[in-house]
Structure 1
Amino acid sequence: PTEAGHAALSVRSARELEVLAVFMRRWSHVGIERLLSGPGLLNTYQALCGIDGVAARHDAPAAIALAAQRGDDPQAVEALSMFCDVLGSVAGDLALTFGAKAVYLAGGIPAQIADFLLASDFAARFVDKGVMGEVLQRVPVHLVEHGQLGLQGAASWYMEHNAAG
C-alpha cells in the first residue's frame, strides 16, 4: 500500500511541460493524480483547450475518453494520449522503484480505453528508462478488467479489520 499518486508529476515532452505549467499555476504541488485519474483527464483536457485557445466541448472524463476514442476532438485525443504516455512512464518508474516482477493496471480508465492504451506509446514510455530499459522489457504488464475490484478490496479490508473474533 502506497500513496504514490501524490508523488510529484514528472513530464518529459514539451507539450507535457506546457500542461504541467498550467497545473502549477493552479496548485502548489502537482502530484501524479492531477493527470493520472478521472479528474486528471479532465484537468489535462481543459489545460490543452486553454493552451490551444479553443472552448472545451466536454466536462466529464468519460465524455473526453469517448471523444478521444472516436477521434472527433483533437484535444480529447491528445489528453487521452498524454494520459497513456504518462501512465507508461509512471508505471515504469514504480516498477523500478519497487522491483516489480509484474505490473497490473487496474482502475476505471485503463479498462475502458484498452484498445486506445494498446495503440498508445504506453509500452515505449514504460521501458524508456535508459540502461534499465532492458530490465523493464522483462516485466509483464497486465490490464485488470474487473469492474468491482475496488469494492472487493474495500470489503476485504472491512472483513480483516471488523470481523467478529
Structure 2
Amino acid sequence: MSTAYALVADIGGTNTRLGIVGEKGDQPIECVKIQNADYTTFLSAANTYLNQTNISTIANICMSIAAPIEGPAIPLTNCNWVIELDEVRKVFDANISAVNDFEALGFALQNLPTANVLHVSGPTAATETRKMIVGAGTGFNAATSAKPAGFGMAYSLSAECGHMTLPIEKEFEWELRNYLAQKYLRASVERVLSGQGILDVYSWVCTFYDLPYQAISGPMITESALRGDDKACNLTVEIIASIFARVVGDLALANLPMGGIYLYGGVTRALSPWIKRCSFREIFEAKGRQTNLMRNFPIYLANEDNIGLVGCAVYASTQMNFATSPFKGNASTREQ
C-alpha cells in the first residue's frame, strides 16, 4: 500500500513553513521556510516545495492560516494571498483541512519539548493543563489549549486578539492611541504589537519627544535599543514591551491558563531581553484586586519555529487517514 503523505503548511503574513508527515504521531520532516513575497500564490509555493522533495503524491493537506477560517476562500490578514481551498483540493487531488494559525499552535502546546521553551517568570511547576500561546509577529493573536482528564487529545481555541482595542493606562499613551487611530481609523492591539507596530510607535516617539527620525527597520530599532545607543529606539521598545505585558495580563485574566503562558513570534523574540526583566512581570501582574491571582501564571518563551507545523500534524492526525511512513526521526529545517 502506498504511503498517504500529508503536506503541512504554516502560512503566516510574511513567511510560510512547509513540511511532510507520513504517519500519525510523526514529526514533520523536510521542513522549509519561504518568503511569501517570493511567490504569487500559496499553490505556486507548495508546487515548488514538493518538486524539490522526493514526494510525488500528496493525499492530505493541512494548513494553518494567519486569518479567520470562514469559508472556502480565505484571504490572509497581512498578505495579499487568498487561499482557495477548492482549488488546492483539485490541483493536488488531496483531502484538505484548514485551521487558524494560532489554533494549530494551541494543538502543539501540550507536547512541546522542554528544550524548545525557556522559563521566564512565575511558578516553575504547573498544576493544570490549560495553556495559552500569545504571539507578536507580522500580526498578533493568541490561543488556549487544554487536555482534560479522560480525553484522548487536546483541544485548541483561537481568537482574533490582535483586533482588540489597545489598552491605555498612562496619559502619554493617549497621544499614541490618537496617532494610531488617525492613521488607521482605529487603535487596536496589533497596531503596536507587530512588526509594523514597531515602526509606527518609533515614528510617533520621534514626533512626540522631538527626537531625530531615521529611516530604519524594526529589527534595527530593537537592536539599537538593546545597545542603548539611541533614545528614540529605547523609548519605542520600552513602550511596546510595557503594552505587551499589559495585554498578556489581560488575556491571562480572560483565559486563566494556569498551565502556563507561552510567548511566541518574531517580534516577541526581539523583545525577549525586555520580557525577561522584572518590570515586564510587574506590569503583567498589575491587575488591582486580582494581583495575587496573576502571580500564579508561569510565563515561557517558545523558541521553536516549527511549532505551527507540529500543530498542523497533530490536527491532521485527527482529521485524515495515514499509512505507514518510511521516515522516522526528528524534524529538520532548511531555508529556501
Please tell me the TM-score bracket, short chain as reference: 0.7 to 0.9
Is 1:87 matched up with 2:244? yes
Amino acid paired to 1:41: I
Cα distance between partner residues in 1 of 2:180 and 2:208: 12
Q: 2:151 — aligned with what?
A: none
Amino acid paired to 1:125: I
Q: 1:47 — aligned with what?
A: 204
Q: Which stretch of the first structure deviates more once superposed, 58-67 or 34-43?
A: 58-67
TM-score by length of 2: 0.45
Structure number, greater radius of gyration: 2
Cα distance between partner residues in 2 of 1:151 and 1:51: 42
Is 1:73 matched up with 2:198? no
Is the CA contact (8 Å cut-off) linking 2:241 and 2:271 kept in structure 1?
no
Gaps of 5+ in 1: none
Q: 1:98 — aligned with what?
A: 255
Q: What SS is found at the alignment partner of 2:229?
A: coil
In structure 2, relative to structure 1, the CA distance for the partners of 1:46 and 1:96 (3 Å cut) is: same
Is 1:63 matched up with 2:220? yes
Q: What SS is found at the alignment partner of 1:8?
A: coil
Cα distance between partner residues in 2 of 1:7 and 1:57: 30
Is the CA contact (8 Å cut-off) linking 1:92 and 1:136 kept in structure 2?
yes
Is the CA contact (8 Å cut-off) linking 1:85 and 1:120 kept in structure 2?
no
Cα distance between partner residues in 1 of 2:233 and 2:306: 27
Alpha-carbon shift at residue 149 of structure 1 (Å): 3.0
Q: 2:287 — aligned with what?
A: 129
Q: 1:37 — aligned with what?
A: 194
Greater share of residues in strand: 2
Q: RMSD value over aligned CA atoms? A: 2.2
In structure 2, relative to structure 1, the CA distance for the partners of 1:53 and 1:161 (3 Å cut) is: farther
Is 1:108 matched up with 2:266? yes
Gaps of 5+ in 2: 1-157, 323-336
Q: 2:182 — aligned with what?
A: 25
Q: What SS is found at the alignment partner of 1:121?
A: helix
Alpha-carbon shift at residue 41 of structure 1 (Å): 1.1
In structure 2, relative to structure 1, the CA distance for the partners of 1:81 and 1:22 (3 Å cut) is: same
Is the CA contact (8 Å cut-off) linking 1:33 and 1:40 kept in structure 2?
yes
In structure 2, relative to structure 1, the CA distance for the partners of 1:61 and 1:151 (3 Å cut) is: farther
Bigger relative contact order (CA 8 A; separation at least 6): 2
Cα distance between partner residues in 2 of 1:26 and 1:84: 22
Amino acid paired to 1:75: A
In structure 2, relative to structure 1, the CA distance for the partners of 1:53 and 1:151 (3 Å cut) is: farther
Question: How many aligned residue pairs are there?
Answer: 164
Q: What SS is found at the alignment partner of 2:204?
A: helix
Measured against aligned partners, the alpha-carbon deviations of 1:33-64 in whole angstroms (never above 9, x if no partner) come to 00011111111111111112333224311111
Amino acid paired to 2:307: L
Amino acid paired to 1:147: D
Cα distance between partner residues in 2 of 1:157 and 1:144: 18
Cα distance between partner residues in 1 of 2:309 and 2:224: 28
TM-score by length of 1: 0.88
Cα distance between partner residues in 2 of 1:82 and 1:74: 12
Cα distance between partner residues in 1 of 2:203 and 2:317: 41
Cα distance between partner residues in 1 of 2:205 and 2:317: 44
